[in-house]
Amino acid sequence: MKKGALRITGALLVSSMATGCAAQGAQRGASATPLLSAAIAAPSAASAGGTPASARGPSEATEEPGGIPTTCVGEQAIKGKTACLPPGTFAKKLCGGIYPEVALAMFAKGSPWTRVWLAGDVEAWNASGGLTHRAKLAFDEEVIVLSRHGAGGGGGIVMTGAMASFDVLRWDGTCVSVMEGELTTRRPPAPKPAPVPWSRLEETTRRALLASAKVKASHDSLDRACASVSSPGERKSCEKADKAFTSAVADFVRSGGALPTPARRP
Q: Tell me if 56 is assigned to some domain.
A: no
Query: CA quadruple 16, 40, 174, 51: dihedral positive or negative?
Result: negative
Q: Tell me if 265 is assigned to some domain.
A: no
Q: What's the residue count for the chain?
A: 266
- Rounded Cα distance between 130 and 148, Å, is 20
Q: For position 151, what pLDDT does the model report?
A: 67
Q: Please count the structural domains in the chain.
A: 1
Residues 6+ apart with CB under 8 A from 118: 137, 138, 139, 140, 141, 143, 178, 182, 183, 184
- Rounded Cα distance between 125 and 6, Å, is 5
Alpha helices in the chain, H assignment, sequence order? 17-28, 88-94, 100-106, 203-210, 213-225, 232-254
Write the pLDDT tens digit of every residue in 73-85: 989 999 999 999 9
Angstrom CA distances, 136 to 6, 139, 174, 240, stand at 9, 10, 13, 18
Q: For position 26, what pLDDT does the model report?
A: 39
Q: For position 149, what pLDDT does the model report?
A: 85
Residues 6+ apart with CB under 8 A from 33: none
Q: Tell me if 235 is assigned to some domain.
A: yes
Question: Which structural domain, as residue segments, surrounds residue 81?
Answer: 7-37+70-254
Q: For position 126, what pLDDT does the model report?
A: 58
Q: For position 132, what pLDDT does the model report?
A: 59
Q: Tell me if 43 is assigned to some domain.
A: no
Q: Cβ distance 88 to 72 under 8 Å?
A: no
Bridge-based pairing state of the strands 135-137 and 115-118: unpaired
Q: Tell me if 53 is assigned to some domain.
A: no
Q: For position 72, what pLDDT does the model report?
A: 95
Q: For position 52, what pLDDT does the model report?
A: 41
Q: For position 161, what pLDDT does the model report?
A: 55
Q: Tell me if 187 is assigned to some domain.
A: yes
Residue 96's CB is within 10 A of a number of other CB atoms, namely: 16
Beta-bridge mates of residue 144:
115, 169
Q: Which residues of the chain have pLDDT under 70?
A: 1-65, 125-133, 151-162
The angle that helices 213-225 and 232-254 make with each other, rounded to 10 degrees, is 170
Q: Tell me if 128 is assigned to some domain.
A: yes
**DSSP codes of every residue in 112-147:** -PPEEEESS-EEE---SSS----EEEPTTBEEEEEE
Q: Tell me if 170 is assigned to some domain.
A: yes
- Rounded Cα distance between 165 and 256, Å, is 30
Q: For position 142, what pLDDT does the model report?
A: 98
- Rounded Cα distance between 199 and 173, Å, is 13
